[in-house]
């Protein structure tokens, strides 16, 4: 019958016009042609208006026409009314129609009615139909009802059906029933097929029950499969119990199979509590096991203890493993304590490892302290290491303060490091000094590096000083590189000055350079320009036909 939304709208319009039988008429037509979606939509509309009797009748018609959603709604209606037998009948009709998801509803209805055997029978049918979660869901309901014996049996059936979640629940039930041997056997069974998480669960349960030796053995078995989380857990439990040696032993076992997180966690806890010696011992073990974070932490501890040489050595080891944060910290500490040369040495080491942030910070500090030459030297070192930001900032400062020679040298350093913006500023300085040819060369270099701002600035300067030809040359250079904004800007200036011919010529150059989307140009020449520079005619049907169906000249 078409769009069901339109159908509902039509029914309501007719009802508002006084046609109280509109829905019945449309429903009769839908039933006649077997339109299940239309009948279902009409039923939902009746339900929304509160006419539940009419809605149920329409759902019946929709279900007869093959609507699975209608069967589901009818099942819900019967269930809410307490008619479980009727609800089950509708769910069974859904199953008979090929909707296997209705097995879940049949299972649930039987469970609510207390027919556990019937619920299990439907769960088995759901599993046979490919739903491995049915026994697991049923087991959860039994577990929530504290029917642990039936829950355990159902979790076992769920596991046998391939639901890996079931074993953990089954282990917990067996463990709480003090059937430790069965719980452990189940956990090992799961581990044998690749799921060590159940061993971890059991290790935690044993630990919480005070069976520390069993917990340790299980955690070791889990670790043998690659899961160290139980060892981590036991380490933290021992730490909380102030059994520091025991905590370290578990953390060490985890580290031996490649997981240093427990050692690091214990070390941080010891450090926070003020036990520096134990913290340092733990960090050393973590570092020996390959933890870069531990090297960084040790460097900071050694620095705080006044062992500067050792701290620097550790920081360099961390930097060699791509963590320069310790070198950064030490450089700033040295700077704060007045050890400027040592600070610079450490900052250069960090830069050599790819982190110029310490050098850049030292530049800022030296500049603020009035040590301008030292700041420039450090900025140049950062630029040589690939970070031209500091030297560029200093160049801007020097230019603003009128120190053009220093600014020039610093801009050149930034440009050498690949910063196109430095070329733009150099071009501007050369232009102001009257070295126009050099300014243009620098502007072109900046454009080649992706920054056309210098060309734009020079073009406008030429235009303002009356060198219109020079301005156009620069605009054309930018256009050749794909930036038509200067041509368009010059055109707007010429037009504002009353030079319409000159403006049009520049606009044409912009179009020829590929500018087709600028609003002003698109309004003037919506179809572009021909090869002779004249506006192209509209793309007429005759032209389109000639292009898509060309005449075969050879036919004559």
**Beta-ladder partners of 529:** 535
Tokens of 188: 């090992």
What's the CA gap between 324 and 366, in Å, rounded?
21
3-state secondary structure of 240: helix
Which position has the token pair 């600028």?
Answer: 518
Show the beta-strand stretches assigned E in 304-443: none
Q: What is the DSSP letter of 553?
A: G
Q: What is the DSSP letter of 554?
A: G
Tokens of 270: 């010891």
CB 324 within 8 A of CB 348: no
Upper half-sphere CA count for residue 249 (Cβ side, 13 Å):
9
Write down the pLDDT at residue 543.
37
| Helices assigned H by DSSP within 225-307 | 229-240, 244-256, 261-272, 276-288, 292-304
3-state secondary structure of 507: helix
Tokens of 320: 């060699």
Tokens of 102: 């209705």
Radius of gyration of the chain from its Cα atoms, rounded to whole angstroms: 40
Write down the pLDDT at residue 380.
92
Which position has the token pair 């440009």?
Answer: 415
Which position has the token pair 């493993």?
Answer: 321
Write down the pLDDT at residue 550.
41
Distant-in-sequence, close-in-space partners of 232: CB < 8 Å, separation ≥ 6: 250, 251, 254, 259, 261, 262, 265
How is 50-86 classified by DSSP, letter by letter?
Answer: T-HHHHHHHHHHHHHTT-HHHHHHHHHHHHHTT-HHH
3-state secondary structure of 467: coil
CB 205 within 8 A of CB 172: yes
Distant-in-sequence, close-in-space partners of 468: CB < 8 Å, separation ≥ 6: 462, 502
Element (H, E) at 162: none
Predicted confidence pLDDT, tens digits, the chain (556 residues): 445 455 555 655 665 665 556 656 665 665 555 577 777 777 787 787 788 888 888 888 888 878 888 888 888 888 888 888 888 888 888 888 888 788 888 888 888 888 888 888 888 888 778 777 888 888 888 888 888 888 888 888 887 887 777 877 887 888 778 887 887 777 777 777 667 777 777 788 788 878 888 888 878 877 777 778 888 888 888 888 888 888 888 888 888 878 898 888 988 988 888 889 988 988 899 898 889 999 999 989 998 889 999 988 988 898 888 888 888 888 888 888 889 998 889 889 888 888 899 889 999 988 898 999 999 999 999 999 889 999 999 999 999 999 999 999 999 999 998 888 898 889 889 888 888 888 888 888 887 787 778 778 888 887 888 888 888 888 888 777 777 877 888 888 888 888 888 877 887 777 776 655 554 555 565 555 555 555 555 544 433 333 334 434 344 4
What's the CA gap between 138 and 123, in Å, rounded?
8
CB 455 within 8 A of CB 443: yes
Distant-in-sequence, close-in-space partners of 7: CB < 8 Å, separation ≥ 6: 1, 26, 30, 38, 41, 42
Is this model's pTM higher than 0.75 or not? no
Element (H, E) at 374: helix 372-384
How far from 45 is each of 48, 74, 418, CA to CA, in Å? 5, 15, 68
What's the CA gap between 510 and 487, in Å, rounded?
6
């Amino acid at each position: 019958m078409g769009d069901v939304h339109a159908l509902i709208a039509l029914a309501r319009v007719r009802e508002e016009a006084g046609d109280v039988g509109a829905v019945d008429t449309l429903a009769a037509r839908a039933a006649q042609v077997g339109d299940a979606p239309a009948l279902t939509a009409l039923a939902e509309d009746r339900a929304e208006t509160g006419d539940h009797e009419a809605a149920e009748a329409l759902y019946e018609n929709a279900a007869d026409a093959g609507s699975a959603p209608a069967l589901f709604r009818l099942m819900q209606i019967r269930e809410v009314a307490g008619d479980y037998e009727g609800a089950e009948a509708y769910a069974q009709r859904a199953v008979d129609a090929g909707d296997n998801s209705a097995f879940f509803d049949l299972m649930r209805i039987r469970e609510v009615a207390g027919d556990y055997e019937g619920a299990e029978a439907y769960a088995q049918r759901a599993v046979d139909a490919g739903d491995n979660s049915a026994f697991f869901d049923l087991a959860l309901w039994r577990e929530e009802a504290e029917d642990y014996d039936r829950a355990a049996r159902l979790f076992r059936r769920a596991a046998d059906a391939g639901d890996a979640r079931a074993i953990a629940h089954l282990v917990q039930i067996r463990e709480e029933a003090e059937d430790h041997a069965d719980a452990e056997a189940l956990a090992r069974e799961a581990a044998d097929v690749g799921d060590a998480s159940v061993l971890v669960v059991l290790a935690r349960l044993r630990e919480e029950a005070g069976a520390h030796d069993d917990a340790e053995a299980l955690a070791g078995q889990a670790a043998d499969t690659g899961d160290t989380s139980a060892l981590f857990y036991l380490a933290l439990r021992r730490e909380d119990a102030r059994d520091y040696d025991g905590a370290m032993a578990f953390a060490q076992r985890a580290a031996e199979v490649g997981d240093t997180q427990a050692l690091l966690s214990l070390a941080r806890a010891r450090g926070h509590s003020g036990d520096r010696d134990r913290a340092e011992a733990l960090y050393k073990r973590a570092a020996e096991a390959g933890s870069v974070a531990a090297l960084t932490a040790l460097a900071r501890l050694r620095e705080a203890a006044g062992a500067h040489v050792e701290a620097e050595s550790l920081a360099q080891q961390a930097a060699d493993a791509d963590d320069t944060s310790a070198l950064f910290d030490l450089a700033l500490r040295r700077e704060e304590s007045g050890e400027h040369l040592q600070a610079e040495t450490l900052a250069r080491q960090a830069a050599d490892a790819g982190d110029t942030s310490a050098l850049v910070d030292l530049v800022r500090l030296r500049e603020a302290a009035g040590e301008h030459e030292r700041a420039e030297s450090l900025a140049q070192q950062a630029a040589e290491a690939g970070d031209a930001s500091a030297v560029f900032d200093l160049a801007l400062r020097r230019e603003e303060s009128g120190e053009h020679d220093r600014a020039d040298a610093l801009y050149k350093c930034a440009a050498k490091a690949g910063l196109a913006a430095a070329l733009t500023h150099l071009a501007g300085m050369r232009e102001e000094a009257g070295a126009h040819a050099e300014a243009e060369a620098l502007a072109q270099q900046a454009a080649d590096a992706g920054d056309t701002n210098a060309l734009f600035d020079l073009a406008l300067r030429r235009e303002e000083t009356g060198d219109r030809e020079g301005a156009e040359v620069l605009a054309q250079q930018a256009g050749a590189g794909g930036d038509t904004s200067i041509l368009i800007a010059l055109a707007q200036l010429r037009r504002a000055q009353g030079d319409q011919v000159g403006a049009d010529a520049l606009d044409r150059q912009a179009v020829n350079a590929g500018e087709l989307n600028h609003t002003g140009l698109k309004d003037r020449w919506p179809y572009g320009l021909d090869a002779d520079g004249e506006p192209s005619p509209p793309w007429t049907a005759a032209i389109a036909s000639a292009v898509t169906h060309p005449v075969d000249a050879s036919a004559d």
